[in-house]
């Protein structure tokens, strides 16, 4: 059944074809493994890049908002610039964060804090230093909660962040009510 062809024995031909087929199969499997590794690595890098962008945006968000209590007496224009910076950062957060309710809640903070800072500044410029200081203290306390929460974002697993939007909404609403009561 198997004879000599071109002075090569049957066993040698079988060994040759076995090796050739094995090499083709090994190359195919190796290519699939390499493709899978590249896809998984790219997916992981994409996730890490998104997380880095969120962390950068959170840092910008925190920096702009942290400046509000220090700048409330500088006037409305100064606060508006900080609101724009924080709002731009919250938009960047929204683009990359997986938790949309949290992103939506964070996007509401810059304007609300800006309005409160402007009100505190107006009280300050109108000579109501004590009431201005009360509003400033409320603003500072709420800001501390917000920044403390967002600073933990990278260290906290997503499963444990599910209640953050609701908690931050409650803090923001309470702040607005306390400021309204202080100004009444």
Q: What mean pLDDT do residues 18-27 have?
A: 91
Q: What is the pLDDT of residue 133?
A: 84
Token pair of 150 as six digits:
């967002």
pLDDT at res. 123: 83
Structural contact between residues 111 and 87, judged by C-beta atoms closer than 8 angstroms? yes
Burial of 137 (0-12, 13-18, 19+ CB in 10 A): middle
pLDDT at 183 over 80: no
Looking at residue 5, what is its pLDDT?
A: 65
- What is the three-class DSSP state of 8? strand
Find the domain containing 89 and state its range. Answer: 57-183
The 10s digit of each residue's pLDDT in 94-139 is: 998 888 899 999 999 999 899 888 888 888 888 888 888 888 888 8
> What is the value of pTM for the model shown?
0.76
Q: Mean pLDDT across the stretch 7-13?
A: 76
Q: Tell me the mean pLDDT in the region 50-54.
A: 91
Q: Is residue 79 part of a domain?
A: yes
In a domain, 64, yes or no: yes
Mean pLDDT taken over the chain:
88
What SS3 state is found at 5? Answer: strand
Bigger pLDDT: 137 vs 5: 137
The average pLDDT across 160-170 equals 90
20 in any annotated domain: no
Any idea of the CA torsion for 78, 84, 86, 89, to the nearest 10 degrees?
-150
For the chain, how many structural domains are there in total? 1
Q: Over 70: is that where the pLDDT of 152 sits?
A: yes
80: in domain: yes
Looking at residues 137-148, what average pLDDT do you find? 90
DSSP three-state, residue 128: coil
In a domain, 96, yes or no: yes
CB 78 within 8 A of CB 71: yes
Instruction: Give the pLDDT mean for 10-23.
Output: 83
């Amino acid at each position: 059944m198997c004879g000599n062809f071109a002075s090569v024995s049957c066993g040698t031909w079988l060994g040759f074809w076995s090796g050739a087929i094995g090499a083709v199969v090994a190359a195919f499997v190796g290519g699939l493994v390499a493709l899978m590794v590249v896809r998984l690595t790219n997916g992981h890098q994409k996730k890490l890049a998104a997380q880095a962008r969120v962390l950068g945006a959170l840092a910008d968000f925190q920096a702009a908002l942290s400046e509000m209590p220090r700048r409330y007496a500088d006037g409305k224009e100064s606060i508006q610039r900080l609101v724009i910076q924080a709002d731009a950062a919250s938009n960047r957060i929204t683009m990359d964060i997986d938790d949309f309710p949290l992103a939506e809640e964070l996007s509401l903070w810059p304007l609300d804090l800006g309005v409160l800072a402007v009100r505190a500044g107006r009280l300050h410029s109108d000579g109501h230093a004590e009431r201005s200081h009360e509003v400033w203290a409320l603003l500072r306390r709420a800001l501390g909660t917000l920044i403390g929460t967002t600073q933990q974002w990278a260290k906290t697993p997503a499963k444990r962040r599910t209640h953050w939007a609701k908690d931050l909404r409650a803090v923001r609403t309470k702040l607005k009510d306390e400021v309204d009561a202080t100004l009444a």
